[in-house]
Amino acid sequence: MPRLAPDQLLEELTPVDDLLIVQDLDGVCMQLVKDPLTRRMDRGYVHAAAALRGNFVVLTNGEHEGRRGVNRLVETALGDQVKPDQEGLYLPGLAAGGVQLQDRFGQLSHPGVREAEMVFLAAAPQRMEQLLLERLPAELPEASSEQLKALAQQAVLDTQVSPTVNLNGVFALVPGDVPRQRRLQQMLAELMDQLLREADAAGLDGSFFLHVAPNLGFDAEGRERAKLAAAGDVGTTDIQFMLTGSLKEAGLLVLINQHIARRHGVFPLGEDFNVRTAPRDYGALLQLARERLPMERMPLLVGVGDTVTSTQTADGEDWLRGGSDRGFLTLLKDLAACSNQPNRVILVDSSHGEVDRPSLADGCLRGISDPEDPLELDVLVPGGPAEYINWFQALAQRRRADGRTTLVTA
């Protein structure tokens, strides 16, 4: 099928009564940056999201709360005179891969998460920093102890339920040095594996998994496969220590379940359905959706992401496909066949930021998709987050004019 231009999708979505946009955040409505604390969110985007109330939710591996949370970005964008918790201007939806649920007033919960798991997660950032300081000297012998300490502090993202080690700052010291970048990726994998073993030893066997970003799908053992550095593409930059079940494709079903309940008063998957009780196998998730979701009540779904990968195997016989958005975008498209809705996928070019990523600019999608890719990308946004935000605001304005959104003052 030929792709749609963004303006064509605007025309298509403006009159839709039952619409649900499910959108990733970093790289979509914000540029990718080496230090997440420097992220900025556009004020107009926040108001457009509020105007699309009831038709818009987020699905992100980032987090809502904490000093690194998206809520801080919303507050900064709106300024001191606006109280998002009173006016309902926070971004509703799922964070941390699906275990952190928030409404537009900032009311937060962690369905299915145990207290012992939260205690281990609270201590994980300090342990990550300690492990980095043990390993980095051998990888960066030219750096002073003060530099190494600063790098370790910058690399550890002390989020509440998905603490992360992000090596963008370290990679910046070895630009273009692919062998060293690969050694650093290996070091990161070993460090995070050690943290998993420590969780098992603490009686939390099976509570956590490692989310590799970006990745190349799964290996034979069901672990996410790192995307090794190559010329012009640094590949895997960070690994998140996440609660088992934190899968965006499961999160998509949670969001659909809640959307149908808001409109029709019934939770088709049960009121307590969450990513930790959901199946963890893609086929089982799709089967659950087919059996339990009332297809006549399904909204038209629009999935928006930026992280989809595809790399040919060394023998040229196959493709390794992954990326943190691929799973939920694929499920969204597969649901279209069940509901007879023309569900759409938007892919935003996140190569414009500070992190090396494959670009959409030449239309070849090298490193992103391939000629045999089953995931249909309906709309490409080569202009990155800035172009997407303009499109998003235009959609809110058109639906407001059509009587399908709530007026929100800028």
Find tokens 């190349």 and name the residue.
Answer: 216
- How do residues 142-198 score in pLDDT, each as one tens digit? 999 999 999 999 999 999 999 999 999 999 999 999 999 999 999 999 999 999 999
Q: What is the pTM of this model?
A: 0.90
Cα distance from N-terminal residue to C-terminal residue, the chain: 38
Contacts of 97 (CB under 8 A, 6+ apart): 61, 162, 211, 240, 242, 243, 246, 247, 248, 251, 275
Query: What confidence score (pLDDT) does residue 363 get?
Result: 87
* Rounded Cα–Cα distance for residues 278 and 268 (Å): 13
Instruction: Give the pLDDT band of residue 356 (cuts 50, 70, 90).
Output: confident
Q: Is the pLDDT assigned to residue 406 strictly greater than 70?
A: no
The pLDDT score that the predictor gives to residue 409 is: 38
Q: At what angle do helices 326-339 and 282-292 cross, to 10 degrees?
A: 30
Per-residue pLDDT reduced to its tens digit, 255-289: 999 999 999 999 999 999 999 999 999 999 999 99
Whats the size of the chain, residue-wise?
410
